[in-house]
Amino acid sequence: MIYNTIAKQADAAWKCSWDKFFCEKTSLFYDYLTSADLLERHVHLPKPEEIAADRPNRTSWNSGMEDSSINAGIMMEGVVNRFAVTGEEAMRDCAARIFKGMVNCATVHGVHGFIARSISPFDCRSVYRESSRDQYTHYVQGLFKFYNSPLSGEKERKTIRGILSWICDFMTAHVKEESDWSFPALDMQKPCSVCKVWKRNSWADARLPMFYAAAWSVTGRKEYYEKFREYAHEAADITLRMPPVTIEGFLQYQIQCSLELIRDVAVGDDVLREKCARSMRMIAELGVFYAWETRHHEKKTDFSILFSDWRKAESFYGKEPYRIPLFRPEMKDAFEKLRNSFQTAIVQFMAPGWRFSEFQKILLFSRMREIDFENCNNSGVLYPACAFWKGRACGMIAQKEADEPFPTE
């Protein structure tokens, strides 16, 4: 069903995110549904023995439990923003449930500083052995937002101080020139390139100082401050030299998360704060272009399409142990169109001093108006839910326009 206001549409996306993708057993959001999941949620996910055998691959790509830490961080900020706008007491429970899953991803495997992508709901213990800088980025941002919100208490903040300290100690111990500036897999083996957090490129290098910035901010420990200072200015300079190409929407979002946290923490360093602000406005400009491109090349998309079981994939990409089962194009399109259409607005909402133009608002609202969010079957639906509350929290979407009925044709 498509509702007649932006606010009701956002509520439908929010409800779908929780009803279809959140698993109470693990307190995590998973990636997509198959036809089998209509009878019992998440039954398509890898079994513990498949995870132990690196099936479908070491990183869990396209398995359905690839991005739970990303999803947790994004939804945690959504909860914090929604509470800031509405003061709903129900958001305390939402935050607590997400936080439980985030803590599990940091502790269930027993390696301090390793953040698992997800956890198998079959034994609530099994995890894939490789993570990624993208998982850490949204994970750290979500913890940091929760820590600094009235939704967390001292018990939760103590846990967050511990987890962020573990992450930074893990990075300090392993991210070095001889490791190609990468953190290792859970088994301490060399990972693939998605675990490289320094000297990668202009859209990745702000991740490492972001982690230290968060840990220093919540613990006050000198060693994290010194590491933050070691990397922060260079990372900001590298980001400002980003080549004039269209960076994919999910990367834009992750860059903004890193720069925002660094800027917020760098109190007293006006030079660094201004570098970050300039970079964030540059990313927001990319978001303007990307929002238009997303609509300009639009084709009819079935957002209700159910994904296929990865075990039955007919085509693959890459080689063992990173062989990725591929979905049919229309399945991938359904996820990417949902995600890309709304994270471009989020990156603009994040930019300091940014004016969200009427044209951008038209693009966002027109997209929001045309999707039946109740029938979305991939986790891209988290993005419109969170984009709406980010826009409300930063004042870019007014309550009046959110509640205004759509015009009749």
Q: Report, as an integer, the average pLDDT of 277-305.
A: 86
* Burial of 342: CB neighbours in 10 Å, binned 0-12, 13-18, 19+: buried
Q: pLDDT tens digits, residue range 71-100? A: 999 999 999 999 999 999 999 999 999 999
Q: pLDDT tens digits, residue range 11-57? A: 999 999 999 999 999 999 999 999 999 999 999 999 999 999 999 99
Q: Report, as an integer, the average pLDDT of 286-304.
A: 81
CATH classification for the domain delimited by 6-402, as one of 1.20.1260, 1.10.3470, 3.30.160, 1.50.10: 1.50.10
pLDDT of residue 296: 63
The one-letter amino acid code at 151 reads L
Q: For 339, list phi and psi in degrees, rounded to 5.
A: -60, -50
Q: pLDDT tens digits, residue range 224-245? A: 999 999 999 999 999 999 887 6
Beta bridge partners of 325: 316
pLDDT of residue 291: 84
Domain boundaries, the chain: 6-402
pLDDT of residue 297: 62
Average pLDDT, the chain: 95
pLDDT of residue 294: 77
Peptide bond into 405 cis (omega under 30): no
Beta bridge partners of 390: none
pLDDT of residue 128: 98
pLDDT bucket at 246, cuts 50 / 70 / 90: low
